[in-house]
Amino acid sequence: MADAALSPKIEPDKAEMRCKWCSGLVKRRHPKARYCSEKCKQRYRNFNRSIEDGYWPKEMQGPRPPTRCPECSVIFERTDPKKVYCTERCSCRAWRKTDVGREYFARNEVQERLRLSARRYSNSEKGKLAQRERDSRPHNVKRREEWSKSDHGRKVKAECQRRRASERALSLLLLPTQQTPEL
């Protein structure tokens, strides 16, 4: 028959093929056609390629698998497949440990800048508050008590008292009209 000769390989159940990208009807020009158009074919391929490159459509794939930060061991969800550390802070810390980072932080001007910013922070209200908070932790209170009872702690304490006493005496000598600083 003429009809059968024109489309010999298309079986009736496969005759209605849906486009893999847009689910539109595929008008088959050859039996292996899977897309309605060349455009859909390209879109489908681009989509798959971007998935390989790390694109993660959550509505299709759910959340990314959790990752452990190699620096602080926190479990976090990546926003980017190339992301290794949970935060910028952790990535900086890790970089400091590399050869390049160590070299950079060993430089005098960098050390000086770090010292300055640390001093500025500890003198700021925020820094003072953080220090008070650390000091009041039970663990630190206990350690301070133990330290002040140790030989070294007693020595430092005595040294401190001596210094204060001599400062007091000196201020009396130098500024006889002023009152003794109360301590």
SS3 66: coil
- In the shown chain, the binding pattern of residues 69 to 108 toward Zn ion, with x for contact by CB under 5 A and - for none, equals x-xx-x-----------x---x------------------
> Whose Cβ is closer to Zn ion: residue 65's or residue 138's?
65
- Please report how the helices 99-106 and 88-96 are oriented relative to each other, as an axis angle in degrees rounded to 10: 80
Answer for the pair 141, 153: CB distance below 8 angstroms, yes or no: no
Which letter does DSSP use for residue 1 in this model?
-
Q: How far is CA 156 from CA 131, 145, 149, 163, in A?
A: 21, 13, 11, 10
Nearer to Zn ion, 32 or 152 (CB): 32
Contact call for residue 26 and Zn ion (CB under 5 A): no
**At closest approach, how far in Å is the CB of 47 from Zn ion?**
12
d(CA 100, CA 108) in angstroms, rounded, equals 15
DSSP 65: P
Nearer to Zn ion, 29 or 132 (CB): 29
Nearer to Zn ion, 6 or 75 (CB): 75
Q: How far is the CB of 183 from Zn ion (least distance, A)?
A: 45
DSSP state of 12: G
CB of 65 vs Zn ion, minimal distance in Å: 17
**Dist CA 44 CA 23 (whole Å):** 12
Stretch of residues binding Zn ion (CB under 5 A), selected from 3-11, 12-20, 111-119, 142-150: 12-20
Q: Which of 7, 24, 129, 142 binds Zn ion (CB under 5 A)?
A: 24
Q: Which two tokens stand for residue 164?
A: 């204060």
User: Which residues lie near Zn ion (CB under 5 A)?
Assistant: 19, 21-22, 24, 36, 40, 69, 71-72, 74, 86, 90
